[in-house]
Chains A and B, each alone.
Chain A
Amino acid sequence: MTFYALTLALLGVGLYGLLAKRNMLKKVLGLVILDYAVNLLLVAVGYRAGGGAPILLPGEDPAAFAAGSVDPLPQALVLTSIVIGLGATMLLVAMVLRLHQRYGTLDVDRMDRLKG
């Protein structure tokens, strides 16, 4: 239970960084932390107390393996989610780079050219 609480705290940290910080790179870091907090939670959901890694070794009984290992599905889901987060982060950093080139600053308030 403390693990879930800590993960949610991490989520809060990421959210705070994303929304409250003015420096764009700090916003990017906040987004990354937020992404990974959710990934962490998803992997943790699949944990089974005392379970082994979901790798079937030669000679192991499949039924016993299925009953004793942690849930592999969240691990596959998180792999996908990490890749998605990677794509979004790369795009975000490229935009930050471009905005810095254009406006010479990383401060969101100073470059707020767009009306609401």
Chain B
Amino acid sequence: MPFIPHTEDDVRAMLAAIGVKSIDDLFDEIPASLRGGALAMVPAGVSEMEITRLMHERAERDGRWLNFIGAGAYEHHIPAAVWQIATRGEYYSAYTPYQAEASQGTLQLLYEYQSMMTSLTAMDVTNASLYDGASALAEAVLMAVRVHKSSKRVLMPATVNPVYRKVVHTIVKDQHIEIIEAPYCTECGHVIPAALQKFTGQDFAALVVPQPNFFGVLEPVDELTARAKQNRMLTIAVVNPISLALLKPPGEWGEGGADIVVGEGQPLGVPLASGGPYFGFMACREQHVRQMPGRIVGRTVDVDGKPGYTLTLQAREQHIRRSKATSNICTNQGLMVTAATIYMALLGPDGLARVAQACHSNALKLAQQLIALPGIKRAFSGPVFHEFVLCLNAPVADVLQALKAQGILGGLALTRDYPELGDALLVCATETKRDDDLKRYADNMKRILGSRFRPAPCALKPAT
């Protein structure tokens, strides 16, 4: 029996001790009409050898691709030590550190994580993680409304990841919170602060500021943050943690910095893995810490005065506050944070800056090569970090299909979420790409656009 250690002798002795004849007797409080129920759809069990073979076959079927898709999930090199340590049983198979004395490993690691993230974001405090970047933004919106008290409206630029905006809608809609979309400049690819003038005088709890935004473009964060402050709004920053090695941290934006910072933690040592598990991070100003959802670890001392770590501010949470909790969140993404902490420790400040710089350089190089091709232009004039949008003079879906035939995943088509941009393609190059990868992408793109979408040879010559 898989994972059940009982011998027949054990079972006999245990039933005798309880005073029943069979295991079935232990279910005698359950109404008879409910017992049983066939499991026709569950196949018979297989051995570890068989499932190993099956999973290898399925993994091989999915193959390996030269990937240039980003859009919120980014391919980075993960040092071998990260997951070898994170999957040690002591981290992997422990639970939430309720018994602090028996969980100092996890607790100290979380304190180190909080320390690293507060410094990276230049904020006062962070929690021990949320589910992912999208749900973290939803929690930030709820938190901003709690902090602001008077308004239940939040201003959300269209340059925020469209899926994040959908998730926010799902999570906040039943609490009568209104999300108002703020426009962006279709030429520069970011929000124009002056364009927010039309909202002046309206009561908003917060302005969301993504950096870099979904197009990879850098937003004028100082001006946006200052404008939010002048209009009595909180600023919710949505940032990429790797970019923070190069970009001004949200705690230093505008007049006094952002109030709440969230983002997707996946770039910090978590594999792409078809979408999860990842982790969301959240940081805030100290005066708002009691409105922050999720677990928080604090340093204290034991009865002998020795430093130690424990979950703190638990009275905010659902297991104590129940219907008045800051959120219903219970678990976080502990194992992912374990990996991220080891990742940040291995890379250090210089390593992280080198990763960020290599991403930035590769993106610039690839963009240069691609916009030099006929039939491609850059969609936006604004500066970028490691992602950029191209406008193609051919159907983007067809181009992606043709690239895929060459083993290349060329990026994310924006036709569904941003139809106003035409055949737009969001492309990302991280530090994982070599010069020959960039060239392979550009060569294939050239060939595809040149051969498949060349104007018909019999086209009329332009009149001279």
Are A and B part of the same complex?
Answer: no
Binding site for B on A (CB under 8 A): none
